[in-house]
Amino acid sequence: MDQHHTHNTGSRDLRMARSMCWHCQSEMSGEYFCERCVKVQPVSKETDYFTCFGLPRRLTIDLKKLEAKFYEMSRAFHPDFYQNKSETEQTISLGNAATLNTAYRTLRDPIQRAEYLLDLEAGSVKDIRTSPPSDLFEEILELQETVEAYRASDRTSETGRRLLTQLVAERQALDQRKQDMEHHLQQICTDWDALQDRGEATSQARTERDRLLKQMREILSNRTYVKNIVNDLAATIG
Amino acid sequence: MAYSDKVVDHFNNPRNMGSFKKDEDGVGTGMVGAPECGDVMKLQIKVQDDMIVDAKFKTFGCGSAIASSSLATEWLKGKTIEEAQKIKNTDIVQELNLPPVKIHCSVLAEDAIKAALADYQKKADKPEAAR
């Protein structure tokens, strides 16, 4: 887990290193505009999306505030306002606008937000190995067989109708499960935020941190599996 | 995206689709998933005298994932445990001409092989441990 700390420090160093205006070389004190020459500054690739919007790294976000901040920054970076500026400034504004859009889309959606936080906190999401949920996999593979049997069946026959009824019920159950998973995820997100707010550096807090990240990872993965089969079902039975 | 002829062939005529009973003697089961794309793969081997005599798979996923696991079962049959350990995802990529975005499917197939072999070994070791 130590590597995450070095990772964080690393990105902070990079932010420090670029805190010089590309135009007048003066030290940057403003956030995205140089206070001395008022030139727009590029959003560093190392800046995470939370920091980008001036938000703490928390999973509960006030969407209204996020939207307001996004609009405010969009206006500041909008390429239309840079048409009479230098080519460098045009490029920077375009890059910033694109980064901003991705950042907004990611943070707006609670699932993507959690995936993103997991990426930041635990390195690549794949790094946390969770044991594969065998029961869920068996279920998915079995269900897929039913889906295939239905596809191959004469839909007006009794078998076809029976399979359809079964699939409709399965789909409902899976939808419910997906919702349950999302509720559970929400709970973990709240726990995560509370842990961050307490800001303890004890080994107990670190264990709790790892446990929450692992759970988040597990639910997000399982949700992807369920989502996949639900989509497949939806495509088949409409 | 266009699939190679070999992928299409395996997709349309999957080899060795199905399953064995998990607790059957000499059967090793590998169950793996890719959380990024939601693909699920189950690969089973049946071993007699250190030789893989049969292999089966079930895959829920894209054409490349199905083709990768289908090919894997084809390759596994007739191999010894030791030979099977040597199957690499890159061999699958090469054989099926998988494009870069589908390489993870071959990784999944290799993981499934490894998991099935490990499960078989675990089951085979158990009686010895009891001795």
Domain ranges of chain A: 2-108, 131-237
Whole-number pLDDT of residue B27: 96
Which residue is catalytic, options B37, B80, B88, B126?
Answer: B37
CB nearest to A141's CB, from B35, B38, B42: B42
10 Å CB burial of residue A40 (0-12, 13-18, 19+) is buried
B62 a catalytic residue = no
Q: Is A178 on the interface with B (CB under 8 A)?
A: no
Work out the pLDDT band at B127, boundaries 50, 70, 90.
low
pLDDT at A59 over 70: yes
State the nearest Cα–Cα gap between B119 and chain A, in angstroms.
13
**Digit-coded pLDDT (tens) for A121-165:** 876 445 556 677 888 999 999 999 999 999 999 989 999 999 999
Q: Give the residue-averaged pLDDT of B18-33.
A: 94
Give the confidence band of B16 by pLDDT, cuts at 50, 70, 90.
very high
pLDDT score, position A68: 95
In whole angstroms, give the CA distance from residue A139 to residue A155.
23
- Domain B5-123 top-level CATH class: alpha beta
Q: Rounded to whole angstroms, how far apart are CA atoms A142 and A155? A: 20
For residue A182, which amino acid is it?
A: E
Asked if pLDDT for residue A3 goes beyond 60, the answer is no
Residues B16 and B19: their CA atoms lie apart, in Å, by 9
Name the band, by pLDDT with cuts 50, 70 and 90, for residue B64: very high
What does the pLDDT read at residue B1? 60
**pLDDT value of position B84:** 97
Residue A127 is predicted with a pLDDT of 53
**Active-site residue B37, yes or no?**
yes
Architecture of the A2-108 domain: Orthogonal Bundle (1.10)
pLDDT per position as a tens digit, A8-39: 444 444 444 457 888 888 887 667 888 778 88
Q: What is the ipTM of this complex?
A: 0.84
pLDDT per residue as tens digits for the range A157-213: 999 999 999 999 999 999 999 999 999 999 999 999 999 999 888 999 988 998 999
Own/partner pairs, A74-80, CB within 8 angstroms, 24+ separation: A74/A100, A76/A32, A76/A33, A76/A40, A77/A32, A77/A40
- A132, A144, A221 ranked by CB distance to B31: nearest: A132
What ranges do the domains of chain B cover? 5-123
Query: Tens digit of pLDDT for each residue in B97-119?
Result: 999 999 999 999 999 999 999 99
In tens, the pLDDT along A98-114 reads 999 999 999 999 999 99
- Subunit contact A141:B35, Cβ cutoff 8 A: no
